[in-house]
Amino acid sequence: MRIIQRIAVPAGLAVSLLSLSACGGIKTSTPQVNNYEEGGLGAAPAGSGSLFTLGGGGSGNAGANTNIQVNAYLWRSTLDTLSFMPLVSADPFGGVIITDWYSPPSAPGTRFKVNAYILSKTLTADAIQVSVFEQDQEGNQWVDTPADPSIASGLEDRILAHAADLQAAANNAK
């Protein structure tokens, strides 16, 4: 019985996590990422004060390169996909997003934490890496357990698909 439980619980949690991540990406308007060039990395308009630039294009910043160093569509998609989890840290210049522990309502004795790394300026499958950490509650303590690798790959797939949708929407808005 314990073996079946060890297989069924991670599989059920993987489905729960992927289902919940789909909820975070529902939008009623077109996302505003069309300030970026084809690769998703051009500069925002001067003085816009967006998340992707520091300062605002004053004459003193003429030579400074303060643009985001990762693909903007992957960045936004990763934030959207992981929005159901509490956020600990998000570094748009380094491309690192770290969540806090999250317990799915269907399994309160298990919790997950996700680290997402955006590794490239291009929108390709190897530009995103997701690491999932899992802990099970035993008594009053949380014990590390190996996370099902399909959870990380499923999140990566969802992030890539959403990023492609964001890029397509931005290209159609031009």
pLDDT at 69: 77
Please state, in angstroms and rounded to a whole number, the distance separating the CA atoms of residues 44 and 154.
31
**Domains of the chain: which residue ranges?**
2-173
Instruction: Encode pLDDT of 115-146 as tens digits.
Output: 999 999 999 999 999 999 999 999 999 999 99
Instruction: Encode pLDDT of 48-78 as tens digits.
Output: 444 443 334 444 444 444 566 789 999 999 9
Lookup: tokens for 93: 């210049």
Neighbours of 4 (CB within 10 A): 8
Q: Quick one: CA torsion of 102, 13, 105, 98, rounded to 10 degrees?
A: 10
Q: What is the mean pLDDT of residues 11-16?
A: 52
pTM, to two decimals: 0.64
pLDDT at 173: 86
Q: Is the pLDDT of residue 23 over 90?
A: no
